[in-house]
Amino acid sequence: MEDRPRRLVIVGAGGHGRETLDAVEALCRSGHTAPLHEFLGFVADDADHELLARRGAQLLGPIDWLASAAAEGVSYTIAIGPSDVRARVAAAIEELPPRAVVAEPLVHPLASIGSDVELGEGVILAAGARITTNVRIGRHSHLNVGAVVSHDCRLGAFVTCSPGAFVNGTCVLEDGVFLGTGAIVTPGRHIGAGAVIAAGAVVVDDVPAGVTAKGVPARW
């Protein structure tokens, strides 16, 4: 029996959600996935309906919509930028009936993944994102456009690497770390849970949990 396309919804209908639709459409055009995704629409509390219509997409409803669609099988990806909000949304979805919906990694065909890489459920790799070798990425973490994670790194759950962020080798980023655009983490650094690294900052020391680090070198 031939596999049917996976029915996919994007949770979050803002700018990050519409960028994620670019990845879904690129996958469908490329034929890199088998079976291909069948995109159903966006799940969110609210959305700019005009912008969605211009993409040929629709707002299906709030998160509860996922439970109503479970009988036919639905996959989802959470396309929400802030790490803490993404974690709250994931928790709400996980309270739905068991096996109602499944989170899956979403990898743009223009992303690059090396050998011995493990991606958790719901991970998103945008166009130009690069992972080299022996890397572990936790659930619902995002590498945005042009973000790089180098060898032997460990990223926890709900980590966000904004466009152009660069994580050098043997680094550890704990759950919920947020790297701003163009941030650089130098080799071997450890960044504690929930820390925010500002755009353009250069991390040369280990960073404690929960702080905001700014500047070159980064200070908090």
Coil vs helix vs strand at 131 = strand
CA-to-CA distance for 109 and 196, rounded, in angstroms? 29
CA-to-CA distance for 88 and 94, rounded, in angstroms? 10
Q: Which residues sit opposite 197 in a β-bridge?
A: 179, 213
Residue reference for tokens 């990050």? 16
Residue tagged active-site, from 49, 140, 151, 190: 151
182: left (phi over 0), alpha (psi -120 to 50) or beta: left
Nearest to 213 by CA among 173, 169, 163, 158: 173
Residues with Cβ within 8 Å of residue 90, at least 6 apart in sequence: 78, 103, 122, 139, 140, 158
Q: Is 16 a catalytic residue?
A: no
Nearest to 181 by CA among 217, 138, 148, 136: 148
The amino acid occupying position 59 is: L
Q: Which residues are catalytic?
A: 151
